[in-house]
Structure 1
Amino acid sequence: MEEDIKFGNSLLYYKCDNIEFLKGYGQLYTEFDDGVATRQINIIKNDMYCSSSLHDWNEDIGFLLYDGHIDSLDVSDSVPITRLDFEKKWQEGIVANKSPINYLKGDASLPLEEHTLIIHVVNILGKWGKGFVLSLSKQFPIAKNDYVKWSKDKETFGLGEVQFVCVDQQKATFVANMLAQHGVRKNDKDRTTYIDYDVLRLCLRKVARFALKNRLSIQMPKIGSGLAGGDWREIEKIINEELIYYKIKCTVFEL
């Protein structure tokens, strides 16, 4: 899923074949990112539950994701496994546990809850002036200010990069400026597709890791389908493959 991103040794995977749950014993598979539990597979009585949220609860198991750092967890009864081993089991589990994109009417710049990552697409030209960004910068001026500063850094400002901006530290609210757009629509008759789908996919992979590690839900407008000229059906498919796959809570706002 993430062949274009190099994580080094930040990701670790463990399997325990005899873990005690609330109502019996079962298997446990856990992914850790820099020591933080980001995804977990719980198996009991031939039932499988996949989770990447601290809010997920099951009466037979308890909470479905470990809330803590690997340093405070006893893994002596667990064995290291490969990422491939974990992904095979995860793919098997999400067939029955997949959560769809949540669609709502409204303004995506208004956080639904705390611990939220607002994501949107920005262009490589350093221009911030139309569409969703107007509402976003009204709510969180720092999102625009940081993007404009970033656009002047030619070493880091490039397609496929994502700028994560903390806009409310107390409520753990972040904005992701995703560089996946070549240009901007010139006028109402301009039908050019400025969004780069492959680059958007790369950006969303980085967004997924950030959201998992920081335990954030995600909300967005219909990214890439407005001034960027993209096909929402194609973009929705990418969102499903790169965000929903990880069971990250995703809300798309439609005006």
Structure 2
Amino acid sequence: MSGITYVRGDATVPSVKGAKVIAHVCNDIGGWGRGFVLALSQRWSEPEKAYRAWHRDRAHNDFGLGAVQLVPVGPSVWVANMIGQRGIRTGSKGVPVRYEAIDTALARLADDVTERGASVHMPRIGCGLAGGTWSRMEPLITERLVHRGISVTVYDHGEGRG
């Protein structure tokens, strides 16, 4: 069955069988060091290394808002670095989250996930340091992933659904 399942726990430790993609939102300025990425870096070094190399070589690749980078971290486990926030601070242009970029990234992710026959696991993407709201994010996930038959699990670390 597909749909969004909400659980308490750590999105870096999905407890389901089969291929898994752990999706999260990154900024477009090469910063990695606060929020969910800290949990990723505690488990694996590859996602940060790949993200930093992708950013460093951005003149020659697709790095930018809406892009997705899939990084293998284990047998049938990938981390999806999705570029969905402009910078890291709230300023005159509002909060860093860019819903349209996340929507584009989720659409791209859906193709990769379908190809791998994987399920998707994530925190409440775009709703922490990026400043987004779940009421705007959840419909994007439903439209881009759930409606394509992809199983999605959202992890709340130590708190219930809000």
Length-normalised TM-score, structure 2: 0.89
RMSD: 1.7
Q: CA-to-partner distance for each residue in 1:47-90, whole Å, 9 max, x for gaps?
A: xxxxxxxxxxxxxxxxxxxxxxxxxxxxxxxxxxxxxxxxxxxx
Is the radius of gyration larger for structure 1 or structure 2? 1
Judging by fraction of residues, say which structure has more strand.
1
Q: Which runs of 5+ in 1 are unaligned?
A: 1-97, 187-191
**TM-fit CA distance, 1:154:** 2.2
Q: In structure 2, what is the Cα distance between the partners aligned to 1:164 and 1:221? A: 17
SS in 1 for 2:111: helix
Residue matched to 2:12: 109
Please point out which of 54, 57, 69 is paired with 1:163. 69
Alignment match of 1:226 (pick from 121, 128, 131): 128
2:111 corresponds, among 205, 209, 215, to: 209
Instruction: Please state how far the C-alpha of 1:180 moved relative to its aligned partner.
Output: 1.0
Task: After superposition, give the CA deviation of every residue in 1:160-187 in whole Å (9 maximum; x if it has no partner).
Answer: 111110111xx2100100011101137x
Deviation at 1:100, TM superposition (A): 2.8
Q: Which amino acid aligns with 1:163?
A: Q
Q: State whether residues 110 and 139 of structure 1, in contact with CA within 8 Å, keep that contact through their aligned partners in structure 2.
A: no
Write the letter of the residue equivalent to 1:107: D
Partner of 1:179: 83
- Structure 1 position 134, deviation (Å): 0.3
Where 2:113 maps in the other structure, the secondary structure is helix
Cα distance in structure 2, aligned partners of 1:180 and 1:242: 15
User: Could you tell me the TM-score, scaled by structure 1's length?
Assistant: 0.57
More helix by share: 2
137, 148, 152: which one aligns with 2:52: 148
Asked whether 1:119 is paired with 2:119, we answer no
Residue identity (%): 39
SS at match of 2:81: strand
5+ unaligned residues in a row in structure 2: which ranges?
A: 158-162
Contact 2:12 2:40 survives alignment (8 Å): yes
Superposition pairs for residues 1-255 of structure 1, below 5 Å? 99-113=2-16, 114-155=18-59, 156=61, 157-168=63-74, 171-185=75-89, 192-255=94-157
